[in-house]
Structure formats: structure tokens, C-alpha cells
């Protein structure tokens, strides 16, 4: 059985002017046309190849949706995740460069956000209802859970999905499955963004929990510096205090209300600010 989107070993069963036909096994006898065959174009055929030789090929569909074989190795195969460049955008989706003559189609409905030519997107393969290989930005199922990382390690990854309920899903090293829980998110994290984070825990199934925030003492120091920078941008006075609504504080600073209050407390203790009823001023 031919496996679309995978490498497999097939046997040359017939030579023609425009290439060779491959099958799973050599034909049992002359004139046997019953077994399924696929064409390997002549430009892909090794110079010394002959009937009966086994070749490792990748199977996909050409521009006319015909099953075709290639000895080239694409940048992405079934079950994998890879970062590919957007070659162009059409009426129904984008086309990605995956190292083969025909670009890989990424439908709009499989995009987590609209992509533009030149973008680098993290995708997996799937077979659509017309039995064609397509790309999807829904990569969760193909990410691995056997990372070498432990609690406290620093990692880098690509944000591929954001959930209002759970947080930001990250592909660490574009390979391993991870989550930044909602309570650990900091700042304006977007789909497609590369982030640096700290491993807070490794779940029993091997998936990672991350935080873009530092451990508490270090983070308080960073938050305090951020507040001083905000004060400078507001000419020395913030138009809200630590009693403001949590939504206002998060919108203006990217911090939770508790984080903001801890940092403000540090600055107050160091006599760098003074707090008014509806404002914070720099001393």
C-alpha cells in the first residue's frame, strides 16, 4: 500500500521513456498490471537503475493531482513538525516552500493567524478530503513529549496557539510540547512569536510547563525597573495607583495586580516613589 507523505522503499517494475514505474514488490510475471504503480520521473531516476532495483522515495501529488514519487527528501513529512517559508498567498490559502517542485498548500482554515509571503510558519502535514497533502498550523498532535529538559532549565520555542482558558501553547525547539499556563503569561504574547522561558515542571506524560517570568525575587526586580521606565514615559507620574482595577494594571503594565503591588512595594521601600490616591509619582 502506498503511503502518501512518507518515505518508503519501492521496486522498479517498468522502464519508460519518461521515467520508471515503481511498485511495492516486483511483478510476479510478465503482463501483470494488477498491482498499484507510481511514476518516478526520469530526472529523478539514478543513472544505473534497472528493473528489480529497490529505491527509497517520497510520495506526494504533482500539480495535476497525480500520485508521483521523488528521491528528494522534503523539509516536512507525515508525523513531523517543521518551520517552512511562505512562498506566496492565493485566494484559498498560502503556499509553502518544502523543498519539492510543487509548493505545499496551507488552507486559510488551517491557519492560526493569516500569514504573509516571507513568513516562517510552524506546520504539520495532513491528508485532506481529496486525498492531497496539505499543511496545518494545528501541530499539537505531532509534538513530542520526550524532551531532555528539567525544572529550572531555560528553553526557546514557538507559540503556536493561545487559549483563553489554558494559556499559550509552545513548541519548544519546534519539537517538544509545552504550555505557558495563563497565570504565567507576561506581556503581549502572540501566535507565531518565539519566546524564551523557564521550565517550571515536567508533567507525568513528559510535556513541559513553562513560565516567561523569572523566579519571584528576580521578577520583582525586573517589574520594579519596568515601573520606573513607565514613570519616565509618563513624565514621572502614572495616572493610576495600585488600587486600580486589575484590567487597567494589566493593560498598562503587562503585570497582574499582585505582581504590580509587589514591585510598587519594593520601590516604595527604596524611597523611589510616592503613592497618591489615584497616581504613583517618582521621587
278 is a domain residue: yes
Sorted by sequence, the CB contacts under 8 Å of residue 144 that are 6+ apart come out as 175, 176, 177
In this prediction, residue 20 carries a pLDDT of 92
In this prediction, residue 10 carries a pLDDT of 93
Q: For residues 199 and 152, state if they share a domain.
A: yes
Sorted by sequence, the CB contacts under 8 Å of residue 108 that are 6+ apart come out as 92, 93, 94, 114
77 is a domain residue: no
**Strand duo 82-89 + 93-97: pairing:** antiparallel
In this prediction, residue 244 carries a pLDDT of 86
In this prediction, residue 59 carries a pLDDT of 94
Q: For residues 191 and 232, state if they share a domain.
A: no
Sorted by sequence, the CB contacts under 8 Å of residue 120 that are 6+ apart come out as 83, 84, 85, 86
Q: For residues 200 and 247, state if they share a domain.
A: no
75 is a domain residue: no
In this prediction, residue 246 carries a pLDDT of 83
In this prediction, residue 28 carries a pLDDT of 56
The domain total for the chain is 4
Q: For residues 154 and 198, state if they share a domain.
A: yes
In this prediction, residue 220 carries a pLDDT of 79
**Strand duo 82-89 + 67-70: pairing:** unpaired
Distance, in Å, from the CA atom of 94 to the CA atom of 136, rounded to the nearest integer, reads: 11
Distance, in Å, from the CA atom of 4 to the CA atom of 127, rounded to the nearest integer, reads: 8
76 is a domain residue: no
Distances (CA, A) of 11 to 44, 77, 267: 14, 21, 74
Tell me, what CATH number does 131's domain have?
2.40.50.140
117 is a domain residue: yes
Domain of 199 in residue numbering reads as: 144-211
Instruction: Determine whether 282 is exposed, middle or buried from the number of CB atoms within 10 Å of its CB (0-12, 13-18, 19+).
Output: middle
98 is a domain residue: yes
The neighbouring-strand residues paired with 21 are 14, 39
Distance, in Å, from the CA atom of 108 to the CA atom of 281, rounded to the nearest integer, reads: 48
Q: For residues 273 and 220, state if they share a domain.
A: yes
Given a contact cutoff of 8 angstroms between Cβ atoms, the answer to whether 121 and 96 are in contact is: yes
Q: For residues 160 and 125, state if they share a domain.
A: no
2 is a domain residue: no
Could you tell me the pTM of the whole model?
0.73
Q: For residues 125 and 161, state if they share a domain.
A: no
Q: For residues 222 and 277, state if they share a domain.
A: yes
User: Between helices 257-269 and 246-253, what is the axis angle to 10°?
Assistant: 70
Would you give the end-to-end CA distance of the chain in angstroms? 76
- From 41, 70, 99, the end of a domain falls on 70
Tell me, what CATH number does 254's domain have?
1.10.10.10
Task: List alpha helices for 210-279, DSSP H.
Answer: 216-233, 246-253, 257-269
Q: For residues 148 and 133, state if they share a domain.
A: no
Q: For residues 200 and 254, state if they share a domain.
A: no
- From 108, 140, 172, the end of a domain falls on 140
271 is a domain residue: yes
In this prediction, residue 145 carries a pLDDT of 95
Tens of pLDDT, residue by residue, the chain (283 residues): 889 999 999 999 999 999 999 998 765 555 555 678 999 999 989 888 889 999 999 999 988 888 999 999 999 999 999 999 999 999 999 999 999 989 999 999 999 999 999 999 999 999 999 899 999 999 999 999 999 999 989 999 999 999 989 999 999 999 999 999 988 887 778 899 999 999 999 999 999 999 887 666 777 788 888 889 888 888 888 888 888 888 888 888 877 787 888 888 888 888 888 888 888 888 8
DSSP code for 186: -
Amino acid at each position: 500500500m502506498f503511503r502518501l507523505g512518507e518515505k518508503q522503499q519501492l521496486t522498479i517494475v517498468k522502464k519508460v521513456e519518461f521515467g520508471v514505474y515503481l511498485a511495492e514488490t516486483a511483478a510476479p510475471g510478465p503482463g501483470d498490471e494488477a498491482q498499484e504503480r507510481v511514476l518516478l520521473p526520469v530526472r529523478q531516476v539514478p543513472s544505473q537503475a534497472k528493473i528489480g532495483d529497490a529505491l527509497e522515495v517520497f510520495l506526494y501529488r504533482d500539480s495535476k493531482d497525480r500520485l508521483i514519487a521523488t528521491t528528494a527528501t522534503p523539509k516536512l513529512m507525515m508525523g513531523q513538525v517543521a518551520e517552512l517559508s511562505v512562498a506566496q498567498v492565493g485566494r484559498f490559502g498560502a503556499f509553502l516552500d518544502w523543498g519539492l517542485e510543487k509548493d505545499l498548500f496551507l488552507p486559510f482554515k488551517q491557519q492560526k493567524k493569516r500569514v504573509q509571503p516571507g513568513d516562517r510558519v510552524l506546520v504539520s502535514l495532513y491528508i485532506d478530503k481529496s486525498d492531497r497533502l496539505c499543511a496545518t498550523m494545528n501541530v499539537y498532535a505531532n509534538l513530542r513529549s520526550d524532551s531532555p529538559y528539567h525544572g529550572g532549565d531555560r528553553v526557546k520555542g514557538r507559540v503556536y496557539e493561545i487559549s483563553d482558558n489554558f494559556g499559550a501553547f509552545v513548541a519548544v525547539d519546534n519539537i517538544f510540547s509545552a504550555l505557558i499556563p495563563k497565570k504565567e503569561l507576561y506581556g503581549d504574547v502572540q501566535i507565531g512569536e518565539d519566546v524564551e522561558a523557564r521550565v517550571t515542571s515536567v508533567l507525568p506524560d513528559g510535556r513541559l510547563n513553562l513560565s516567561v517570568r523569572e523566579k519571584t525575587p528576580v521578577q520583582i526586580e525586573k517589574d520594579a525597573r519596568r515601573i520606573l521606565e513607565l514613570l519616565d514615559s509618563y513624565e514621572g507620574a502614572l495616572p493610576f495607583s495600585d488600587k486600580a482595577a486589575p484590567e487597567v494594571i494589566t493593560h498598562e503594565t503587562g503585570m497582574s495586580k499582585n505582581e504590580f503591588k509587589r514591585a510598587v512595594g519594593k520601590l516604595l521601600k527604596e524611597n523611589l516613589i510616592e503613592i497618591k490616591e489615584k497616581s504613583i509619582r517618582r521621587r
